[in-house]
Amino acid sequence: MEMIDFAALRERFPLADYVRRLRVRLRNSGSHFIGKCPIHHEQRGNAFSVHPETQKWRCWGKCNRGGDVVDLEQALGGGTLTEAAERLGAQRVQRTQQLLKGPKQEPAPAITEKNPFGLPNRMTGAEIRFCVEAATRLVKDESSIQRIARRRNWKPETIRGLALEPSLGIDTEGKLCFLYETGCKLRWCDEEGERQIRWAFGKPWVWRFGYIKLAETVFVCEGETDTITLVDAGVEQDTKTLIVGLPSASFHIDRWAPLFVGKRIIIATDSDEAGIRAARHTAAVLEKHAKSIGLLELERIVDE
């Protein structure tokens, strides 16, 4: 039987440090810290509490949930608790005393003959139809295209092109849909103007990664909106250039590194601590496979 050493993972990632890497400003409040909730992207109030003594967190606001660092990673990045732990760097080991004393067991290869892209999730027929309908809805809704373009300072043709791929869409309530080969990630602002991000279904992968085999140069961004900003700037005018987005700064592409063999990689992440950490990890993982690796310091143009 396999297991994750969650205790070791909690010790490796002190909760307060992890939360600060999410760009959450924590304020001392006696025996604990308080700040704005990173899950529902709170703009007013300080509903999120971090308790260093127990290494637990709690959102007393809209989320009404809590847990440890792994639970928080799951809430932010989706997937199962085990998948969240593996994104933080955990590995599965056999639950026997003999093997626990030896080296940790590497996870099974994600890329196989039957799964050449190493997809961590295969969508159902209903989920595929949802994505197609969301993309079609955006293509046909010129007012939504113009609204998104104005708000983000992107060209309408960029939005329309991403919908035609299809990598972008809107649901029946007008929420923005980032369409992955492995699921759908929703983004919207609630009635109080607070940003909300939720996975409607599926599991995190790399946004627009399905085109990787056609590319010679690949820009790896931190997040979908930075990806769109580079697309909007015309970086993909060369048909051999592809821009992809990590679903979060904590997402690791280790299992999919072989898909970058022989390609010129340019890593474009934020200049904050989380972005720098993501850039360093990505570069270290890909250097054995890529033809070359470069770094692009991408200043934030839109409010993530």
pLDDT tens digits, one per residue of 161-209 = 999 999 999 999 999 999 999 999 999 887 777 778 888 888 899 999 9
Strands 56-59 and 48-51: antiparallel
What is residue 100's predicted lDDT score, i.e. its pLDDT? 34
Q: What angle do CA 102, 9, 287 make, to 5 degrees?
A: 75
From 104-108, 197-201, 250-254, the region with the lowest mean pLDDT: 104-108
pLDDT at 246: 94
pLDDT of residue 141: 97
298 confidence band (pLDDT: 50, 70, 90): low
* Residue 300 in this model has a pLDDT that exceeds 50: no
Q: Over the chain, what is the mean pLDDT?
A: 85
Percent of the chain past pLDDT 90, that is, above it, reads: 51
The more confidently predicted of residues 232 and 44 is 232
| CA-wise closest residue to 20 among 272, 195, 286, 246 | 272
Out of 134-138, 206-210, 213-217, 250-254, pick the least confident: 250-254
Cβ contact 285:252 at 8 Å: yes
Whether the per-residue pLDDT at 92 is higher than 60: the answer is no
* Peptide linkage before 166 cis (omega within 30 of 0): yes
Average pLDDT over residues 88-106: 43
Distance CA 227, CA 208 (A): 9
Per-residue pLDDT, 273: 78
Examine the pLDDT at 95 and tell me if it is beyond 50.
Answer: no
Check for a shared fold between 2-100 and 209-295.
no
Report CA-CA distances (Å) from 243 to 22, 239, 262, 290: 23, 11, 16, 15
- pLDDT of 4: 66
Higher pLDDT, 238 or 72: 72
Taking the domains of the chain in order of start, what are their residue ranges? 2-100, 125-202, 209-295
Confidence check: pLDDT of 13 > 60? yes
- Is residue 299 scored above 60 in pLDDT? no
Quick check: 193 and 303 in contact, CB under 8 A? no
Please give the Cα distance from 19 to 110 (Å, whole number): 29
User: What mean pLDDT is predicted for residues 290-303?
Assistant: 70
> Span 209-295: which CATH code?
3.40.1360.10
Q: What is the pLDDT of residues 114-169, one digit of tens each?
A: 899 999 988 999 999 999 999 999 999 999 999 999 998 999 999 999 999 999 99
In CATH, the number for domain 2-100 is 3.90.580.10
Q: Looking at this protein, which amino acid is placed at residue 145?
A: I
The pLDDT score that the predictor gives to residue 2 is 42
pLDDT digits (tens, 9 = 90+) for 26-80: 998 888 999 999 998 888 889 999 998 888 999 998 888 999 998 998 888 888 8
Residue 168 pairs in a beta bridge with: 178
User: Is the pLDDT at 105 greater than 80, yes or no?
Assistant: no
